[in-house]
Amino acid sequence: MHSINGKVWVFGDNIDTDLIIAARYLNTSNPKELAKHVMEDIDPTFIERLKMGDIIVAGENFGCGSSREHAPLALKAAGISAIVAKSFARIFYRNAFNIGLPIFELNESSKIEENDTITINMNSGTLKSKNSSKIYKFIPIPKFMQTLVGCGGLMNYIKKSN
């Protein structure tokens, strides 16, 4: 996977793991069940409008809060193909790659608008907006992290390595 294309959903700063998937749903770790409730407390209709391959764009500190892996797992199961944010909570960052969800840090994330369609090139570290035709640069994720994403996460990587 070298490039990712999708429609943008914009969220602000400090989107914590409880907003991504509320604690009341953590009685399961079934990805399909978790996916039904993604972002429910921010936007109760989000999951109904979400399409497979859509991309979340957010501000600072996305994924802060608890260290649960349920949050990136639920996002990926819901069909989110990538997340772009100004910054990520460190544990969310690691958990996302562990389950094979690509995330990208972009200082100019606030310039990307809701409903835009963007193309992210993982190798070149570029994000192109279809609406504005602007190209934004970010530091590409390391090759190993790209390999984890390509394998579908750490466990799949380990299985393929043995």
Where residue 79 sits, what CATH number does that domain have? 3.20.19.10
Mean of pLDDT over the chain: 94
- In this structure, which long-range contacts are made by residues 35-40, counting pairs with CB atoms below 8 Å and at least 24 apart in sequence? 35/74, 35/77, 35/78, 35/79, 37/74, 38/74, 38/75, 38/78, 38/80, 39/11
Place of tokens 């608890």: 66
Q: Is residue 137 classed as helix, strand or coil in its secondary structure? A: strand
Contact 44, 83 (CB under 8 A): no
CA distance 102 to 29: 20
Q: Is residue 160 classed as helix, strand or coil in its secondary structure? A: helix
Contact 151, 160 (CB under 8 A): yes
CA distance 144 to 125: 15
Tell me, what's the pLDDT at 51? Answer: 97
The percentage of the chain sitting over the pLDDT mark of 90, rounded to a whole number, equals: 86
pLDDT digits (tens, 9 = 90+) for 65-99: 987 889 999 999 999 999 999 999 999 999 999 99
Written as one letter, the residue type at 147 is T
Domain range for 27: 3-161
Tell me, what's the pLDDT at 109? Answer: 97
Count the alpha carbons within 13 Å of 124 in the hemisphere toward its beta carbon: 11
User: How many domains is the chain built from?
Assistant: 1
Tell me, what's the pLDDT at 92? Answer: 96
The model's pTM is 0.94
pLDDT digits (tens, 9 = 90+) for 8-42: 999 999 999 999 999 999 998 899 999 999 999 99
The burial of 90, by beta-carbon neighbours within 10 Å (0-12 exposed, 13-18 middle, 19 or more buried), is given as: exposed
In this prediction, residue 1 has a pLDDT band, given cuts at 50, 70 and 90, of low
Structure tokens that stand for 34 in this block: 């978790």
